Amino acid sequence: MKLIKNSLLAAAGLALVFTSSSFAADKSGSFTSKGRYKVSGSVKVSSGGKINISGFSTTPGPDLYIYVGNGSPSTLVAKLKKTKGSQSYSIPANLVGKISTVHVHCKRYNKLFGTAKVK
């Protein structure tokens, strides 16, 4: 009887682990250019709270930033480090698993340069 009770408790614990809302899988996608601006490269949003961008290139702009959101650039992450090459950014823990898009946006002129849909 004790073995059955322990097995049921263990199974219930596993169910809680796998249904926890804090679990988030890595997501990835590729940038698509917007308008006359050119953006290319791959994006990976990790469950550890990082955005990793590789093979990146963008049209230079005066005030480029990385934003995240769910379709539109709603949360500022950081100023873009460089217009070419790999780079990494940290995202707030409360956004991990909730992001569906990563954006390159010119803050000064409120222009979207490119978006990556991450799945």
**CA–CA separation, 118 vs 104, rounded Å?**
14
- Spatial separation of the C-alpha atoms in residues 25 and 86, rounded to whole Å: 21
Higher pLDDT, 75 or 1: 75
Closest C-alpha to 89, from 110, 111, 67: 67
Residue 110 is part of which domain span?
24-117
pLDDT value of residue 17: 43
In a domain, 70, yes or no: yes
Instruction: Count up the domains in the chain and report the number.
Output: 1
Domain assignment of residue 101, yes or no: yes
Which residues, in sequence order, are bridge partners of residue 98? none
Is residue 86 a part of any domain in this protein? yes
Would 51 be classed as within a structural domain? yes
**24-79: pLDDT as tens digits:** 689 999 999 999 999 999 999 999 999 999 999 999 999 999 999 999 999 999 99
Report the pLDDT value the prediction gives residue 44, as an integer from 0 to 100: 98
Question: 37 lies in a domain?
Answer: yes
The Cα–Cα gap between 112 and 93 comes to 25
CA proximity to 103, closest of 69, 79, 52: 69
Per-residue pLDDT at 25: 86
pLDDT tens digits, 83-109: 999 999 999 889 999 999 999 999 999
Is 15 within a domain? no
Global pTM reads 0.80
